[in-house]
């Protein structure tokens, strides 16, 4: 039997948000069985569910909290089912642009097994959202597998793919360190849109005309980061997942819609 998990003790981290550029503080706190994942912001409890996502432009905004997907990805990757996340500010710290910093903080707190059995989605049929150009789907499988492909042709990046199989791969080693990325020639445009105000070469990979701003951690790091994002967005469904997910150039909008379809299909 696989048991639900939370953390042993409160632990915190702070830093600058990737898009807002504002400093914030996160405190992760243990939560009771069947509590799920929720944030406390300005005294309000905000459950991490797809129906509470208000914006998916370059990240997933939960009510008024920007860019929650890296935090949620770390929680799912570590098998944490129940957690209270207190936030001062409107966006989690960017850390190094990946989920690794959150994984390290949560492991320092210690992961604690609880008394109730973990809950899983087990599908009876395939669910797919998107169109002929961009799509994401999930179909029945006995464990979680994710395949993600991106294609930024004719830019330097081109077509890149990655695969994650929870039976053979390790989230902490193979997914969590994959950093977010963006095209340097879009930077000024994004800032005018109120985005990427906290982005830097320390917390994002910049795609240049003929290379990257920093050596990659994996040759397919950009596609691995897409898997990181998919895990974070799918965590909004609120249970662990048994299924094969295939993403073709999908982003947060389609990820969250798939999480919403999965949640409502099981209710």
pLDDT tens by residue, 199-255:
999 999 999 988 999 999 999 999 999 999 999 999 999 999 999 999 999 999 999
Strands 11-16 and 23-30: antiparallel
Give the pairing of strands 181-183 and 205-207: parallel
Q: Quick one: residue 63, left, alpha or beta (phi over 0 = left, psi -120 to 50 = alpha)?
A: left
Predicted pLDDT of residue 44: 97
By annotation, the residues acting in catalysis are 252
Look at residue 54 and tell me whether its pLDDT is greater than 70.
yes
Q: In the chain, which residues fall in CATH 3.30.1700.10? A: 120-265
Q: Tally the C-alpha atoms within 13 A of residue 121's C-alpha that lie toward its C-beta.
A: 30
Question: Is CATH 3.30.230.20 what the domain over 3-117 is classified as, yes or no?
Answer: yes
* 127 pLDDT above the threshold of 80: yes
Does residue 7 sit in helix, strand or coil?
strand
Token pair, residue 177, equals: 């360190």
CATH superfamily of 120-265: lpxc deacetylase, domain 2 (3.30.1700.10)
Q: Mean of the per-residue pLDDT values for the chain?
A: 96
Distances (CA, A) of 63 to 36, 38, 69, 153: 17, 11, 13, 34
- What does the block give as tokens for 47? 């459950």
Domain with CATH 3.30.230.20 in the chain: 3-117
Q: Please tell me the predicted confidence (pLDDT) of residue 154.
A: 83
Calpha distance 148→135 (Å, rounded): 10
How far CA 14 is from CA of 26, 27, 105, 142, in Å, comes to 6, 9, 11, 38
pTM (2 decimals)?
A: 0.97
**DSSP bridge partners of 83:** 30, 37
């Amino acid at each position: 039997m696989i048991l639900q998990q939370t953390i042993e003790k409160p632990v915190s981290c702070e830093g600058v948000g990737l898009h807002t550029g504002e400093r914030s503080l996160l405190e992760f706190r243990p939560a009771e069985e069947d509590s799920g994942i929720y944030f406390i912001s300005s005294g309000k409890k905000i459950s991490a569910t797809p129906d509470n996502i208000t914006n998916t432009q370059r990240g997933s905004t939960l009510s008024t909290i920007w860019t929650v997907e890296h935090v949620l990805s770390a929680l799912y990757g570590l098998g944490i089912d129940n957690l209270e996340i207190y936030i001062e500010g409107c966006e989690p710290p960017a850390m190094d642009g990946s989920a690794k910093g959150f994984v390290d903080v949560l492991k320092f707190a210690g992961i604690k097994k609880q008394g109730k059995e973990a809950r899983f989605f087990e599908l009876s049929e395939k669910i797919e959202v998107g169109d002929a150009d961009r799509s994401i789907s999930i179909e029945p499988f006995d464990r979680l597998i994710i395949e993600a492909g991106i294609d930024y042709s004719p830019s330097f990046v081109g077509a890149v793919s990655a695969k994650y199989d929870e039976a053979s791969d390790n989230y902490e080693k193979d997914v969590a360190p994959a950093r977010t990325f963006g095209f340097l020639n879009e930077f000024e445009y994004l800032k005018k849109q109120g985005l990427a105000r906290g982005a830097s070469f320390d917390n994002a990979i910049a795609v240049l005309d003929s290379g990257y701003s920093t050596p990659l951690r994996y040759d397919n790091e950009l596609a691995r980061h897409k898997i990181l994002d998919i895990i974070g967005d799918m965590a909004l469904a609120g249970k662990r997942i048994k299924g094969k997910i295939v993403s073709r150039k999908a982003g947060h909008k389609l990820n969250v819609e798939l999480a919403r379809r999965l949640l409502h299909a099981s209710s």
